[in-house]
């Protein structure tokens, strides 16, 4: 049987080869995620071996270590981002936001080894700039907009505000019992975002001193003068 230029039987347009190549790529990414999460310094040769592909196959998909690490980061980030619209389809907006925050925390805490691999990739001579977290920011904006429309989040909160609010996650040690601390932090963030925490007309006016109390003794100065001694 004659073959086309890419080695596929005529009329198939290389489909079997493309399917095999895609499967190899997915297997490499799955193994790399496991191994680099466990140890950021795992050699590419070990990843290729565990993925049951040759090193040449690995390098055809990912020409260097940095390309593999950045694709892993992009892929994992997209997985977390894609959960946002799905949660909004199946949950009320406030519940969807809280569930998504849990997923984000779990992603960060369980992928700390991958974070180290990304740090190494961006600082290596052959490295570059890690992909921007645009999908995550878009997911945050989607969730905030749905909650603002539902009246469950105070208006005007931006994705940048949200990221600053949850920045305490990055201070939690994932090697310890991180879940209770993360849940407490995210509960506090949810309370801070809640529209019920912005009651109208219930703010304290501190622009002037309160009127004096007619029955109270005069206030004691914060810095009292030293007592005088009788001569």
CA distances from 50 to 27, 32, 37, 90, 122 (A): 9, 9, 15, 37, 25
111: helix, strand or coil: coil
Mean of all residue pLDDT scores within the chain: 79
pLDDT at 126: 65
- Name residue, tokens 């196959």: 57
pLDDT tops 60 at residue 226? no
Question: How far apart, in whole angstroms, are the C-alpha atoms of residue 47 and residue 62?
Answer: 12
pLDDT tops 50 at residue 5? no
Query: Which of 6-20, 84-98, 141-155, 169-183 shows the lowest per-residue confidence on average (mean pLDDT)?
Result: 6-20
Predicted model pTM: 0.69
| Higher pLDDT among residues 75 and 8, named by residue | 75
Average pLDDT for residues 179-200, to the nearest whole number?
Answer: 85
Query: Which of 45-49, 55-59, 199-203 shows the lowest per-residue confidence on average (mean pLDDT)?
Result: 199-203
Contact between residue 36 and residue 69 where contact means Cβ atoms under 8 Å apart? yes
pLDDT at 201: 34
pLDDT tops 60 at residue 231? no
pLDDT tops 60 at residue 189? yes
Contact between residue 8 and residue 41 where contact means Cβ atoms under 8 Å apart? no
pLDDT at 117: 83
pLDDT at 122: 81
pLDDT at 197: 63
Q: What is the 3-state secondary structure (H, E, C) of 27-62?
A: HHHHHHHHHHHHCCCCCHHHHHHHCCCCHHHHHHHC
Contact between residue 53 and residue 27 where contact means Cβ atoms under 8 Å apart? yes
pLDDT tops 80 at residue 228? no
């Amino acid at each position: 049987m004659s073959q086309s230029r890419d080695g596929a039987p005529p009329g198939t347009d290389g489909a079997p080869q493309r399917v095999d190549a895609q499967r190899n790529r997915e297997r490499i990414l799955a193994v790399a995620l496991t191994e680099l999460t466990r140890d950021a310094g795992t050699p590419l040769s070990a990843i290729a071996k565990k993925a049951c592909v040759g090193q040449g196959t690995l390098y055809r998909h990912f020409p260097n270590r940095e390309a593999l690490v950045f694709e892993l980061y992009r892929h994992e980030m997209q997985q977390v981002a894609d959960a946002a619209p799905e949660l909004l389809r199946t949950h009320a907006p406030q519940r969807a936001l809280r569930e998504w925050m849990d997923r984000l925390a779990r992603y960060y805490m369980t992928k700390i080894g991958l974070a180290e691999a990304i740090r190494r990739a961006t600082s290596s001579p052959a490295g570059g700039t890690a992909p921007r977290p645009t999908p995550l920011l878009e997911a945050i904006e989607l969730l905030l907009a749905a909650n603002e429309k539902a009246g469950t989040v105070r208006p005007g909160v931006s994705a940048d505000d949200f990221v600053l609010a949850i920045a305490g996650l990055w201070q939690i040690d994932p090697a310890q019992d991180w879940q209770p601390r993360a849940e407490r932090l995210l509960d506090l963030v949810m309370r801070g975002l809640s529209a019920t925490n912005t009651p109208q007309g219930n703010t304290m006016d501190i622009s002037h001193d309160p009127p004096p109390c007619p029955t109270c003794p005069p206030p004691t100065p914060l810095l009292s003068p030293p007592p005088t001694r009788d001569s």
